[in-house]
Amino acid sequence: MSVAPFSLSLPKTDDLLSREYTAQRDRFGSSWESTLATLLGLGRAAGADFVEFFLERNNYISCQAEDDAITSISPRLVTGAGVRVFLGQADCYVSTNNLSFNGLKAALDKALSIMGLTLPGPGANLFEINLELLRDYASARGKDAWLERCSSMQDMGEVLLSANQALAHQASHVQSRRAVYFRDWQEVMVAASDGTFARDIRLTQSVACNLLCADGEHRSSIGERLGDTSNPEFLTTWDYQTTAEHVADSAGKMLYAEYLESGSYPVIMANQFGGVIFHEACGHLLETTQIERGTTPFMDKKGEKIAHVNLTAWDEGLSTDAFGTIDMDDEGMPAQRTLLIENGMLRNFLSDRAGSMRTGHPRTGSGRRQSYTYAAASRMRNTYIAPGDYSLDQLFASVDKGIYCKKMGGGSVGATGQFNFAVDEAYLIEHGQVTKPLKGATLIGEATEIMDRISMCSNDLGLAPGFCGSISGSIYVTVGQPHLKVDAITVGGR
């Protein structure tokens, strides 16, 4: 009995290129499977170890009201795609606005040529890429109708002007009032040669009020921002009266505040946006991007103590409505929780695909990018210090003379964790009691030092929206923490 030899018939280049590819242009969905699978197969046949496509449609608008007038409306519509090619541990990224089959193929050809590879010629056998059944987070969670339910331009103007009027009624010595809103709608699709095939829709919205007050030589400037990621009616349900009350109260207290004398103080930092210091001074140092560059002091510290025993910290993409919440990252990996620090011990780093490949740390669903013009990189999502076992009364009672940092402002961080942050609203603590307001405070320190001085955390975790810039552009993130005590930190003043 003779047995015929087994033969595997792979598709040929000319067969695939002669087909008609009819992917739906105004919506990403299963119709894209044939187009993307063919292109991924071409990339693998050219010799690439891994190929990934990222497709994006974006509908963005912002609106600004200054005093009693709308001064800016800025819309933006964008469609594009990017292709990333890996060869060993090296990779390159090429983007395009042309989402036709030939346009995407041209981008793939360019990326391959940068890596020293060429598309296979006519008659060549191709890799057959079998994509998974589309993981469509948008359809599964009712997101396809979000955009049409968002606020109209008329709604934007009316709400922002009403917010500015509320500021005028609540505050005195007003120099200027400003309210700003933006809506960022994004549809994305990821397809990769490992079979990844996923789609999602993101809707990020934010509103902010800023108030400048002046009386002679006295000045104060205070703002407050809110954000949301899943409620199309976010703007029209915003309680701008309460926001105006908060901002006006803070501006009034800081208007005649005394200037702080510089020195080393114990500090109590408020919850919510107080977490920006942990995000900037430590969070970035736990991204594998920093390990690849050799710029983090924590790169060889996994499993070792890097913070006070009372400090535990997380990064995750799952908190309801938080600014950094995502159903999947920009490499198609489902969101999850990552324990960064547990009782002072470093447990995990944040890793994207390239970071995992180059450092050995497992992927954490942290591959994020601003848009299709950037390759994904390891980035934070919702990053916060976990609540502790102390009450607020215990925190304040432990300070004989120190500073209460109620509202943080802007700042800067060096590559290895040196930081300085302005404090927009600060108060003196005397014998456990908050007394007079102070202005001009700046917190100065280094991540490796301050982490071991965060000795007490209260049980009132709060989250706040933020924006984070890094190698893959500007992305939306959450910062957060409970009220916490830093035993000693340099506070700049006069």
Q: pLDDT digit string (tens) for 103-135? A: 999 999 999 999 999 999 887 878 889 999 999
Q: How confident is the model at residue 8 (pLDDT cuts 50, 70, 90)?
A: very low
Q: Is the predicted pLDDT of residue 332 greater than 50, yes or no?
A: yes
pLDDT digits (tens, 9 = 90+) for 202-236: 999 999 999 999 999 999 999 999 999 999 999 99
In 235-294 the beta strands, taken as DSSP E runs, fall at 258-259, 263-269
Taking residues 435-443, report their average pLDDT: 96
pLDDT exceeds 90 at position 436: yes
Q: What is the Cα–Cα distance from 450 to 489, expressed in whole angstroms? A: 7
CB 219 within 8 A of CB 255: yes
18 pLDDT exceeds 80?
Answer: no
Choose between 20 and 415: higher pLDDT: 415
Answer whether residue 278 shows pLDDT above 80.
Answer: yes
For the domain covering 13-59+76-139, report its CATH number: 3.30.160
**In this prediction, what percent of the chain has a pLDDT beyond 90?**
89
Q: Is the pLDDT of residue 337 over 90?
A: yes
Strands 90-96 and 367-368: unpaired
pLDDT(403) > 50: yes
Average pLDDT, the chain: 94
C-alpha span between 261 and 469 (Å, rounded): 32
Give percent above pLDDT 70 in the chain: 96
Domains 13-59+76-139 and 146-189+200-258 share a fold: no
List the structure tokens of 384.
Answer: 């916060």
Locus of tokens 């990934």? 52
Q: Is the pLDDT of residue 195 over 80?
A: yes
- pLDDT band per the 50, 70, 90 thresholds, residue 73: very high
In angstroms, rounded to a whole number, what is the distance separating the alpha carbons of residues 191 and 36?
Answer: 7
Write down the pLDDT at residue 413.
Answer: 84
Q: Say how far apart CA 161 and CA 59 lie, in whole Å.
A: 23
pLDDT of residue 22: 65
Give the architecture-level CATH label for domain 146-189+200-258.
2-Layer Sandwich (3.30)
Say how far residue 122 (Cα) sits from the centre of its chain.
44
pLDDT in tens, 347-361: 999 999 999 999 999
pLDDT band for 6, please (50, 70, 90 cuts). very low
Beta bridge partners of 210: 178, 223
- Please report, for the chain, the start and end positions of each structural domain, with discontinuous segments joined by +: 13-59+76-139, 146-189+200-258, 263-492
Q: What is the pLDDT of residue 122?
A: 81
Structure tokens given for 40 = 């991924």
**Residue 410: per-residue pLDDT:** 81
Record the pTM: 0.93
Task: List CB contacts of 273: < 8 A, sequence separation 6 or more.
Answer: 407, 408, 464, 466, 479
CB atoms within 10 A of CB 64: 19
5 pLDDT band, cuts 50/70/90, is very low
Instruction: Indicate if the pLDDT at residue 452 is higher than 60.
Output: yes
Per residue in 250-276, pLDDT tens?
999 999 999 999 999 999 999 999 999
d(CA 340, CA 430): 34
pLDDT at 7: 41
| Ramachandran class of 263: left when φ > 0, alpha when ψ lies in -120 to 50, beta otherwise | left
Residue 414 has pLDDT above 80, yes or no: yes
